[in-house]
Amino acid sequence: MDTPRYLTLPEAARLMRCSKSKLRQMKDGPPRFRAPKSRVWLYPHEELIAWIESGRTVEPPQPKPAGRATSRTKHHNPLYELEK
């Protein structure tokens, strides 16, 4: 009988073509678990492939809104005055 193959976080991120931090932050992401008393996330390979094939993907990062910052930075030189 074959034992299930598990991927670590870097291996799963490489398979999904996304960053490790993005994969770690996903709330409704692929199936994963931690072994008792372990800090390592493990991803079952077959379930991960099935999750990818079901059409669920990593969402691309949202672009930041363009425009001016709402707060103004104070200049360190006291002789420099900001226009109001």
pLDDT for 30-83, tens place per residue? 888 888 888 888 999 998 888 888 876 555 556 666 665 555 666 667 666 655
Terminal C-alpha separation, the chain: 75
The pTM is what?
Answer: 0.58
Q: Count CB-CB contacts under 10 A for residue 17.
A: 9
Q: Name the nearest CA neighbour of 51 among 21, 20, 83, 23.
A: 23
Q: Where are the domains of the chain?
A: 6-53
Q: Please check the confidence at residue 16 and state whether its pLDDT lies above 70.
A: yes
